[in-house]
Amino acid sequence: MEVINYLLGYKDIKIFQDTECFNFSLDSVLLANFVTLNKSTKQILDIGTGNAVIPIIMSTKTKAKIDAIEIQEKSYILGKKSIELNNLEDQISIINVDVNDYYNNCDTEKYDVIVCNPPFFKINEQSNINDSEFKQIARHEIKLNLDQLFNISKKLLKNNGTISIVHRPERLVEILEAMKKYNIEPKKIQFVYPKKDKEANILLIEGRKNGNSGVKILNPLITHCEDGSYTEEIQNYFS
C-alpha cells in the first residue's frame, strides 16, 4: 500500500513509500549527510536510488544536477512520484535501468560525485534469502556487487571525483580492496554505533578516483541514546 510521509525533520519534504517495499532507513539519511559536496560539484549519480530519498536530501545541500538510477520498477515509480511531489524535476532525473546497462552506454568521466546505498549481503549457500524478489535484489548482491560498483565508478567518475557509500563494518577490508583495484583511493571513513558501548553497525566510506594516499578516520557517530531516542548529532541531521 502506497503512503506519503513527511521526511523526518525536513520541512515540506514528502516521500512516497510502499509498505510492501524495502523502504528507506537511517542509512540513507547518514549517507546523504556524509557525502562531500562543494561548489565544484555539478553532476551527481545515485546508484540504486529506491524512492529517491538520497537525491531529495542532497537537493537541500547542492544545486548540482542529480541522476538517480533504480532497477526495480516499483521503486522507480515511488521515486518519480516523490521527485514530482517536491517539485524537483528540474534538478533530479530518475531512470529505470540496470546500472550495468547504464554503465555500458554512459559517457566516460561524466560525474563529480557518485553515491550508493548498495546491497549489503553476499549470495552463498548460507545466505538467508527473503522470499520477496523485490527485497532479495535490494538486500543481496544479485544485480550489483562491490567489484561491479567500483568498476562502474572508475569509468563514470571524473578524475579526482568521489564515491561515497554506506555499508556494513564487517566488509571494510573487501571494500578497501575493491577501491584499490579500480584506482579509487579511500579518503574518509566513519563508523556508526547504535548506542554507546555497542559495536559499530554502519560504515560510511568515501574514495577519490586517482586520489593521493591518506585517509581520515572521522569521529565515531552514535545514533541513539539509552532511552532509544536519537542523539543530538543525529537530530541535527534532520534539521
CATH topology classification for 2-183? Rossmann fold (3.40.50)
Q: ∠ CA(172), CA(75), CA(59), 5° rounding?
A: 70
pLDDT at 116: 95
Tens digit of pLDDT for each residue in 183-216?
999 999 999 999 999 999 999 999 999 999 999 9
- Position 134 pLDDT exceeds 70: no
Tens digit of pLDDT for each residue in 227-236?
999 899 988 8
pLDDT at 226: 92
- Band (pLDDT 50/70/90 cuts) for residue 2 is low
- Position 120 pLDDT exceeds 60: no
Q: What is the DSSP letter of 219?
A: P
pLDDT at 236: 83
Mean pLDDT of 114-138: 60
Sign of the C-alpha dihedral computed for residues 224, 11, 45 and 95 taken in this order? positive
What's the mean per-residue pLDDT of the chain?
87
Tens digit of pLDDT for each residue in 35-60?
999 999 999 999 999 989 999 999 99
Mean pLDDT of 75-98: 95
pLDDT at 239: 63
The answer to pTM > 0.85 is: yes
Torsion from C-alpha of 150, 154, 157, 158, nearest 10 degrees: 150
More confident residue, 92 or 1: 92
- Band (pLDDT 50/70/90 cuts) for residue 17 is confident
pLDDT at 79: 93
- Position 125 pLDDT exceeds 50: no
Nearest to 19 by CA among 115, 113, 177, 134: 134
Cβ atoms within 10 Å of 158's Cβ, excluding its own: 16
Residues in the chain, total: 239
Half-sphere exposure of 185 (CA within 13 A, CB side): 13
Mean pLDDT of 72-80: 92
State the Rg of the chain over Cα. 17
pLDDT at 12: 73
Q: What is the DSSP letter of 211?
A: P
